[in-house]
Amino acid sequence: MKIYYNPNKTQWSTLAERPALNAQDLGAVVQAVFQDVASEGDKALRKYTEKFDKVRLEKLRAEETEIQAASTQLSERLKAAIQLAKGNITKFHQAQAGTKEILETTPGVRCWRENRPIEKVGIYIPGGSAPLFSTVLMLGIPAKLAGCKEIVLCTPPDREGNINPAILYAAAQVGITQVVKLGGIQAIAALTLGTTSVPKVDKIFGPGNQYVTAAKQYALAQGTSIDMPAGPSEVLVIADETCDPAFVAADLLSQAEHGADSQVILLSNSKQVIEDTQKEVQTQLQALPRKEIAAKALENSKAISFESLQECLTFSNLYAPEHLIIATKNCQELIPNISNAGSVFLGNYSCESAGDYASGTNHTLPTNGFAKSYSGVSLDSFVKKITFQELSIEGIKNIGPAIEAMAEAEELIAHKNAVTIRLDTIGKMNQ
């Protein structure tokens, strides 16, 4: 990690920049795959699965027997952990449901909102070196609670044509029965366009590599909604002299091991904390199975010393991290000053891994600074909110003249007439 001491505010914007990805222009590749899937359907999906995943599939859909058999391939310890996480995630998202409230804005004018589930959703689950079965819970549970009628899960198979059993087990626990052995651009294309084996969906959720991210952006241009703009994972830790540097180092490394393009940031009002944490990072790094990946991420990461915690918070709000950990004394007092963050972890024992797996909050969060304008996935992500209004005779009489005046001023006379004809009719009724 690169260390900076009390940088001038003119440097902050540069320090808050994410590492530039050496990603090739994927536009032409994405477009070609989408066009093939549009014209050839399942045939194209099999072709690209063989090309990219090195496996030839006869059937793209996972059989019910495969899904059920996954349970026998997992340890009881892991299954119990998944059950605990499922319970906490369910509790947290159930509490977001809310109730319908009818408001009379003017006598005779009633307005309210009602939720309706997005009918068909697609969930993309990466399945490479780190199969994210936890994301099945994070996306499948709120989708089920929202009442989505159709949930289609796509995840890439291994070279034997199998899906990671933990992904299948999590899907079974959530109640997802449509599991498709597809990854990469072709999976997003299938969910966007629909084929014989893969239903077309209304909204696509889930993380992925640069190919999946580019495909989701293309899907959005084709009229299929997506959860949010995606980017590499990131964490920002604010720590003072009361933190445990070993804990902080572990949190930084937990994000660094996601990928070489991940970024971790440490902010502190103590130079000693930064120095001690740096030593811990190097010690813990050597024991990690993914240390080469984490080391690459650390090359693009920073530790910054500021004069005060308030400066740390100001920089954090500029950076707008996906994950924000506050390992300070009286961390609760800092909450009102947090304006931009995907998910916040308070105190020395609130590790970011808790949110990734089992505390109950959702781990599908805005990255790359989008926490300034986007929220993480929630129950609301799977519903549409429809507004209703009901006007009585009293209501149209009360607000009708105002509507007429405003419509006339905008020179939309048909709008005005829609009110005038009603008021005239009411007037005749009272004669």
CATH number for the domain spanning 415: value is 1.20.5.1300
Q: Is the pTM of this model over 0.85?
A: yes
- Residue 23 is predicted with a pLDDT of 54
Considering the domain architecture, whether residues 325 and 406 belong to the same structural domain is answered as no
pLDDT per position as a tens digit, 257-285: 998 889 999 999 999 999 999 999 999 99
**Residues 268 and 310 both lie in one domain:** yes
Last residue of a domain, one of 212, 227, 242: 227
Domain extent at residue 419: 392-429
* Judgement on whether residues 248 and 344 belong to the same structural domain of the protein: yes
Q: Which of these, 422, 418, 413, 400, lies nearest to 109 by C-alpha position?
A: 400
Domain co-membership, 205 together with 253: no
Written as six digits, the tokens of 2 are 């690169």
* Last residue in a domain, options 189, 207, 227: 227
Q: What percent of the chain has pLDDT over 70?
A: 98
For 252, other C-beta atoms within 10 Å of its C-beta total: 30
Domain boundary among 175, 202, 227: 227
C-alpha 352/C-alpha 324 separation (Å) is 8
Give residue-wise pLDDT tens across range 128-166: 667 899 999 999 999 999 999 999 999 999 999 999 999
Q: Are 17 and 43 part of one and the same domain?
A: no
Residue 123's SS3 state is strand
Q: Which residues contact 76 (CB under 8 A, 6 or more apart)?
A: none
Q: Are residues 261 and 294 in the same domain?
A: yes
Strand 109-117, strand 178-181: pairing: unpaired
Confidence (pLDDT) at 24: 59
In a domain, 262, yes or no: yes
Q: Looking at the domain assignment, is residue 371 inside a domain?
A: no
- Same domain for 6 and 148, yes or no, is no
**pLDDT score of 21:** 56
CA atoms within 13 A of residue 155's CA, in its CB half-sphere? 29
Which tens digits make up the pLDDT trace of 356-398?
999 999 999 999 999 999 999 999 999 999 999 999 999 999 9
Is residue 372 one of the residues assigned to a domain?
A: no
User: Which residues are known to be catalytic?
Assistant: 322-323
368 inside domain: no
pLDDT in tens, 17-46: 987 655 557 889 999 999 999 999 999 999
* pLDDT computed for residue 231 by the predictor: 81
* Residue 57 C-beta-side C-alpha neighbours within 13 Å: 30
**Does 109 reside within a domain?**
no
pLDDT, averaged across the chain: 95
Whether residue 321 lies inside any domain: the answer is yes
Same structural domain for residues 414 and 347?
no
* Cα→Cα distances 201→33, 187, 195, 274, 307, Å: 18, 12, 11, 47, 50
Tally of structural domains, the chain = 3
Give CA–CA dist 89/357, Å, rounded: 9
Judge if 293 and 313 occupy the same domain. yes
CA–CA dist 381, 158 (Å, integer)? 30
- 311 and 396 assigned to the same domain: no
- Domain annotation covers residue 103: no
CATH number at residue 319: 3.40.50.1980
Kindly state whether residues 275 and 316 are assigned to the same domain. yes
Q: How far apart are CA 186 and CA 413, in angstroms?
A: 50
Residues 129 and 195 in one domain: yes
Q: Residue 386: inside a domain, yes or no? A: no
Residue 155 tokens, joined: 């995840």
